[in-house]
């Protein structure tokens, strides 16, 4: 069977600078490919080429006949008159879905995604719900292949888990650009990295993200060894040439030609392997105060809706708070309260005297008409960082921008490059408390790792809102969870928050099951099912299995918390992946126990 999409030796340039060259890429049935790469490497451009929304400058692209393809862009926008239902109906019209299948298809899709009000304006939805709707719009067209560009950027943690489950059980192929390392680990069956460091511009590896990291390390190590050997060879050939090689003999001429080829190969390797990392370092003040912000019985309401109430929390010096909760639970509102931008509906917020708070707003945008020079240094050709002047060109280089980009308008930057500009602006402001609202959107994985390191080294306090579970686990020392129904609790880590959420859902399900309305359609007690022989045997052994699973969970948690692996990203990612799986095993056993208990 031919592949769904076959891309051969394509190239794409913008201006004189090539994005990528000689890239080949195939997508076959049931592939789930994670596509990563440095900001500006051309990931979104490659996805648009796969979608047929852009043509390459060179090379060929072939599609299987009658291929059904759906593409979800980074930014999901809808027309003002669109409703949730009209968006789905229009998508099914486009795909010529038979009338007989429409009701069940749209109902199941919208129900699984959590939509309840089908008349809601699509354009008025939050970023996370617009993203869910855009994904559903693509899904109801029954694609053979789904292309997703940074789908987790605006999804909350519940939304990311919904998408993970959807893709894991999907029959279609998928190519997804993402920087969410846990998402990639949980979903993809293959990884591909687009980068100039590879000879063909792309490294593709079968397996999960952790497998890719191992293979990438092996490849780069081998390439480094080749580079070292080439340098020695070229050095010896140059010495031979300096001694006055005679080109009259066929043997000497062949050696001179060979020396030239070696030099070209070394130059190519040096160009490809020359890399840099963003230098992110937030400036903290020297404040000695222990209690920076105190919240006492704080509540906040929008009209009749109470976001949270009776919130008591202290942000102390050096504390790193991970703020989590579903979309609409009030995370951004709480950041605005901490900043003093809005006042609480009830309770009191006390801040230390002359407290310096720096806020990273996820909705903040850059003036697209500004040049990069003015965006980085609004008041001249230098900036003041940690009490010393730095020329704008040197400041730009810290964030991986080239000198020739300084006079380009901001609108020509990629999403990740714009995020780096915002972080550069943030770094110029010394802070006692950093409030970060989704700072990871559009950042590539290497920049994410640098950001994590800088947050770990930051001497002040921070409150971090992010959907990146890996960053939450690594950076936060305490997790504050908002449940979206007025409740708030603090936890030692993200895993505890997940357990609390699962327990709350189970309690709600049990209440629904025992309510009179839920009980009305049930059969009479005499019709109640009995356990079969096999179920009775299973039920008898469940207690022991749960005890073993919980012991395994405790061990996995201890492994994940081991300080010895804190600086080893690969081992840390693997440990947290095993922890997640152990938690899923425990939850599944408890669900099965409750199911069998109900039959007794």
Concatenate the DSSP letters of all residues of 392-438 into one string. HHHHHHHTT--GGGTTSBGGGS-HHHHHHHHHHHHHTS-BSEEEEES
What is the model's pLDDT at position 527?
Answer: 36
Question: Residue 373: CA atoms inside 13 Å, Cβ hemisphere, count?
Answer: 12
Give the model confidence (pLDDT) of 213-241 as tens digits: 888 888 877 777 777 766 777 667 666 56
Exposure b/e, 456-466, CB count within 10 A at least 16 = b: eebebbbbbbb
- Give the whole-angstrom CA distance, residue 179 versus residue 444: 6
Q: Quick one: tokens of 378?
A: 């609004």
Q: Quick one: tokens of 428?
A: 């110029």
Sheet holding 305-316, edge to edge: 305-316, 291-302, 346-351
Q: Quick one: tokens of 164?
A: 């993970």
CB 187 within 8 A of CB 164: yes
> How confident is the prediction along the chain (600 residues), in pLDDT tens digits per residue?
789 999 999 999 877 678 888 999 999 999 999 999 888 788 999 999 999 999 999 999 999 999 999 999 988 889 988 999 999 999 999 888 888 777 777 777 788 888 888 899 999 887 788 999 999 999 989 899 999 999 988 888 888 888 999 999 888 999 999 999 889 999 999 999 998 888 888 999 999 998 998 888 888 777 777 777 667 776 676 665 666 655 545 555 565 566 566 666 656 656 655 655 666 766 667 666 688 999 999 999 877 788 999 999 999 988 999 999 887 788 989 999 999 999 999 999 999 998 999 898 876 678 888 899 999 998 888 888 877 888 989 888 888 788 888 988 888 887 778 888 888 888 888 889 999 998 887 788 878 888 888 888 888 899 999 988 888 888 999 999 998 888 888 998 888 888 888 777 777 777 766 655 444 443 333 334 455 555 666 666 777 777 788 788 778 877 877 767 766 666 766 777 787 788 878 777 777 776 776 665
With 0-12 / 13-18 / 19 or more C-beta atoms within 10 angstroms meaning exposed / middle / buried, residue 84 is buried
Concatenate the DSSP letters of all residues of 336-366 into one string. HHHHTSS--SEEEEEE-TT--EEEE-TT---
3-state SS class at 377:
coil
What is the model's pLDDT at position 484?
Answer: 82
**Alpha helix (H) ranges present in 79-180?**
84-94, 99-113, 127-139, 157-168
Question: Based on C-alpha coordinates, what's the Rg of the chain?
Answer: 28
Which residue carries 């079969």 as its tokens? 532
What is the model's pLDDT at position 315?
Answer: 93
- Give the whole-angstrom CA distance, residue 121 versus residue 85: 9
Q: 21: which residues sit within 8 A by CB, 6+ positions away? A: 11, 58, 201
Q: 313: which residues sit within 8 A by CB, 6+ positions away? A: 294, 295, 298, 480, 488, 490
Greatest Cα pair distance, the chain, in angstroms, is 105
- Give the whole-angstrom CA distance, residue 455 versus residue 442: 18
pTM over 0.75: no
* 47, 58, 202 from 43: Cα distances, Å: 6, 17, 11
């Amino acid at each position: 069977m031919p592949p769904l999409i076959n891309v051969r030796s394509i190239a794409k340039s913008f201006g004189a600078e090539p994005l990528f060259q000689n890239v080949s890429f195939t997508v076959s049935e049931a592939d789930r490919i994670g596509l990563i790469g440095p900001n500006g490497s051309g990931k979104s451009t490659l996805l648009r080429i796969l979608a047929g929304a852009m043509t390459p400058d060179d090379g060929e692209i072939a599609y299987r006949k009658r291929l059904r393809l759906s593409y979800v862009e980074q930014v999901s926008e809808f027309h003002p008159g669109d409703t949730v239902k009209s968006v789905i109906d229009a998508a099914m019209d486009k795909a010529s879905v038979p009338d007989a299948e429409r009701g069940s298809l749209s109902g199941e899709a919208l129900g699984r995604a959590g939509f309840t009000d089908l008349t809601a304006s699509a354009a008025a939805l939050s970023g996370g719900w617009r993203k869910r709707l855009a994904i559903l719009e693509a899904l109801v067209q029954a694609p053979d292949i789904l292309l997703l560009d940074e789908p987790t950027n605006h999804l909350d943690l519940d939304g990311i888990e919904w998408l993970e489950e959807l893709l894991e059980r999907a029959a279609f192929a998928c190519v997804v650009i993402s920087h969410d390392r846990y998402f990639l680990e949980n979903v993809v069956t293959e990884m591909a990295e687009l980068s100039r460091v590879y000879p063909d511009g792309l490294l593709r590896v079968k397996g999960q993200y952790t497998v890719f990291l191992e293979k990438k390390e092996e490849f780069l190590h081998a390439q480094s060894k080749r580079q070292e050997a080439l340098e020695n060879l070229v050095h010896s050939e140059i010495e031979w040439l300096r001694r006055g090689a005679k080109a009259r003999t066929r043997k000497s001429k062949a050696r001179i030609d060979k020396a030239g080829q070696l030099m070209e190969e070394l130059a190519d390797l040096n160009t490809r392997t020359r890399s840099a990392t963003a230098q992110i370092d937030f400036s903290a003040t020297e404040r000695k105060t222990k209690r920076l912000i105190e919240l006492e019985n704080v509540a906040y309401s929008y009209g009749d809706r109470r976001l949270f109430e009776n919130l008591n929390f202290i942000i102390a010096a050096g504390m790193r708070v991970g703020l989590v909760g579903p979309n609409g639970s009030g995370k951004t509102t709480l950041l605005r309260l901490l900043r003093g931008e809005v006042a609480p509906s009830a309770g009191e917020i006390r801040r230390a005297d002359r407290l310096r708070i720096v806020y990273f707003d996820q909705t903040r945008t850059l003036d697209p008409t500004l040049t990069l020079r003015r965006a980085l240094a609004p008041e001249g050709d230098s900036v003041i960082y940690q009490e010393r002047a730095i020329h704008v060109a040197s400041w730009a280089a810290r964030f991986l921008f080239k000198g020739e980009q300084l006079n380009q308008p901001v609108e020509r930057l990629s999403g990740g490059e714009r995020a780096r500009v915002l972080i550069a602006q943030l770094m110029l402001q010394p802070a006692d408390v950093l409030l970060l609202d989704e700072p990871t959107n559009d950042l590539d994985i290497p920049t994410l790792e640098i950001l994590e390191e800088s947050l770990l080294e930051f001497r002040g306090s921070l409150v971090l809102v992010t959907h990146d579970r890996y960053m939450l686990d690594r950076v936060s020392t305490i997790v504050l969870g908002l449940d979206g129904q007025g409740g708030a609790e603090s936890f030692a880590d993200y895993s505890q928050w997940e357990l609390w959420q699962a327990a709350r859902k189970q309690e709600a399900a049990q209440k629904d099951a025992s309510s009179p309305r839920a009980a009305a359609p049930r059969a009479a007690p005499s019709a109640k099912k009995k356990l079969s022989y096999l179920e009775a045997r299973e039920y008898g052994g469940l207690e022991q299995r749960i005890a073993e699973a919980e012991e395994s969970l405790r061990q996995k948690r201890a492994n994940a918390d081991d300080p010895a692996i804190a600086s080893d990203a690969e081992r840390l990612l693997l440990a947290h992946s095993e922890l997640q799986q152990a938690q899923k095993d425990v939850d599944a056993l408890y669900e099965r126990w409750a199911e069998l208990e109900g039959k007794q």
